[in-house]
């Protein structure tokens, strides 16, 4: 049954609405966090947003790992 659904997804190139919604929410959360990083150049912010857009949950996880590492290295605010 799962293989049949995957074939339909591959042939029609349409994502389920819940998947699109979750992707938009992750991109929004990424942008919210990047707004707090004032010293970060715009191209870096765009790169991280695109990484989350293209990598979805895995990209969001990598983004958070990088963000936590960056904030720890910067020290207390």
5-39: pLDDT as tens digits: 677 677 777 777 888 889 999 999 999 999 999 99
Residue range of the domain that includes 36:
15-74
Cβ pair 27, 53 in contact under 8 A: yes
| Residue 10 domain flag | no
| Residue 24 domain flag | yes
Q: Which of 60, 57, 70 is nearest to 19 (CA)?
A: 57
| Residue 38 domain flag | yes
Q: What is the mean pLDDT of the segment spanning 37-46? A: 94
> What is the pLDDT, as a whole number, of residue 2?
66
Tally of domains within the chain = 1
> What is the pLDDT, as a whole number, of residue 48?
94
Say how far apart CA 66 and CA 35 lie, in whole Å.
15
């Amino acid at each position: 049954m799962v293989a049949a659904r995957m074939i339909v997804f591959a042939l029609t190139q349409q994502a389920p609405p819940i998947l699109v919604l979750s992707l938009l929410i992750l991109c929004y959360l990424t942008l919210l966090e990047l707004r707090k990083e004032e010293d970060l150049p715009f191209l870096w912010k765009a790169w991280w947003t695109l990484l989350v857009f293209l990598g979805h949950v895995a990209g969001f996880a990598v983004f958070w790992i990088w963000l936590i590492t960056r904030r720890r290295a910067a020290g207390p605010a």
